[in-house]
Chains A and B, each alone.
Chain A
């Protein structure tokens, strides 16, 4: 009880940083790849870095850079960015109840850095953190090193350019991270249904334009989870 609030907030920030550490080994290769691709497409390292700073969202950076070089109309590029990043609104909706009453600066910062891995880690860690300030500290403690790795990684990739080995399949580390975070989150039949249907539907709809397969697949998965939960509930009652 006598613990000082600041030092206690530091512990939560450190906890966030520790949890994110293993995820950095998979985000770094992806950041490097985005930097390398940028330079191969003809962008300067400065522009590659500007994309990382302003977007901070790998797949949409890749898509926007490729479309722009290909001469696509501005509207198409922005629509593509919108759909690739549409999943963030779902993250925002699910994390928002934990941030009720947070100051504007914290909301802006968390909003800017709300990307896949910090989101997933924080959502589960928030359940053990009753105070708002603890949750904000935990999120920022993890998201800041993650953000920094992304920025440094793209710059390094852009500077190293073609000298990085291509045959290592380092891009595979990205779906592996998602698997690593996904599997422990499957705790009952409903979450299993959501994961299975979401994954299968997204694979089947992979060829839809604007990365819509991801959004439609995820919505199918969410629907399956809700349906399975109501089936389980009915079984429980009867």
Chain B
């Protein structure tokens, strides 16, 4: 890895990321989105966040084909329940991490 290629990745990668983020924010005064596009945008947050969360939860399923399956899936289920009941970010993250740690300890204890 040369210093040159490192700088290319840093600058070009940074520029690409900024361009993707700024794209519509920069253009919004000049282009108007159609009604169908606007209707579709309503589902962006839930669809994207779900598409990021679940592959990350399942990522270890291949590595841990145990009887309990993947502990992270159970911990994530606890988090979903807490998020649904409390609508509180802090409680959700703490409950999910707590569930993961307790389940890991339990699995170790049971051998």
Contact A183 to B80, CB < 8 A, known contacts A47-B6, A218-B47: yes
Complex contact B55–A213 (CB within 8 A): yes
Complex contact B49–A178 (CB within 8 A): yes
The reply to whether the CB of A164 lies closer than 8 angstroms to some CB of chain B is: no
Complex contact A116–B49 (CB within 8 A): yes
The reply to whether the CB of B43 lies closer than 8 angstroms to some CB of chain A is: yes
Binds B, one of A6-14, A103-111, A150-158: A103-111
> B109 CB to closest chain A CB, in angstroms?
15
B interface SS class: helix
The reply to whether the CB of A229 lies closer than 8 angstroms to some CB of chain B is: yes
Complex contact A97–B28 (CB within 8 A): yes
Contact A93 to B54, CB < 8 A, known contacts A218-B47, A225-B42, A229-B39: no
| Chain A positions 152 through 192: 1 when the CB is less than 8 Å from some CB of chain B, otherwise 0 | 00000000000000001100111111111111111000110
Contact A182 to B46, CB < 8 A, known contacts A23-B89, A112-B21, A175-B57: yes
Complex contact B55–A54 (CB within 8 A): no
Complex contact A92–B89 (CB within 8 A): no
The answer for the CA separation of A78 and B17 in the assembled complex, in Å, is 10
Complex contact B21–A90 (CB within 8 A): no
Complex contact B13–A222 (CB within 8 A): no
| Chain B positions 14 through 50: 1 when the CB is less than 8 Å from some CB of chain A, otherwise 0 | 1011101111111111000100111111111111111
Q: Which residues does chain B contribute within 8 Å of A221, judged by CB atoms?
A: 43, 46-48, 50-51
The answer for the CA separation of A111 and B16 in the assembled complex, in Å, is 12
Q: Which residues does chain A contribute within 8 Å of B76, judged by CB atoms?
A: 175-176, 179
Q: Which residues does chain B contribute within 8 Å of A55, judged by CB atoms?
A: 13-14, 17
Contact A112 to B104, CB < 8 A, known contacts A64-B13, A107-B25, A226-B39: no
Contact of A222 among B10, B22, B43, B55 (CB under 8 A): B43
Complex contact B89–A54 (CB within 8 A): no
Contact of B92 among A60, A68, A108, A180 (CB under 8 A): A180
The reply to whether the CB of A99 lies closer than 8 angstroms to some CB of chain B is: yes
Complex contact A222–B47 (CB within 8 A): yes
The reply to whether the CB of A148 lies closer than 8 angstroms to some CB of chain B is: no
The reply to whether the CB of A237 lies closer than 8 angstroms to some CB of chain B is: no
Complex contact A94–B50 (CB within 8 A): no
Contact A202 to B9, CB < 8 A, known contacts A120-B49, A185-B45: no
Interface of B toward A, CB cutoff 8 Å = 1, 5-6, 8-14, 16-18, 20-29, 33, 36-59, 72, 75-76, 79-80, 83-84, 87-90, 92-93, 96-97, 100-101, 104
Interface of A toward B, CB cutoff 8 Å = 22-23, 25-26, 47, 50-51, 53-57, 60, 64, 68-69, 71, 74, 77-78, 81-82, 85-97, 99-102, 107-108, 110-112, 114-116, 119-120, 123, 168-169, 172-186, 190-191, 194-203, 206, 213-214, 217-222, 224-226, 229
Q: A85-B20, A107-B25, A179-B96 are in contact. List 5 more A-B contacts (CB 8 A).
A: A119-B45, A179-B79, A184-B84, A190-B43, A202-B55
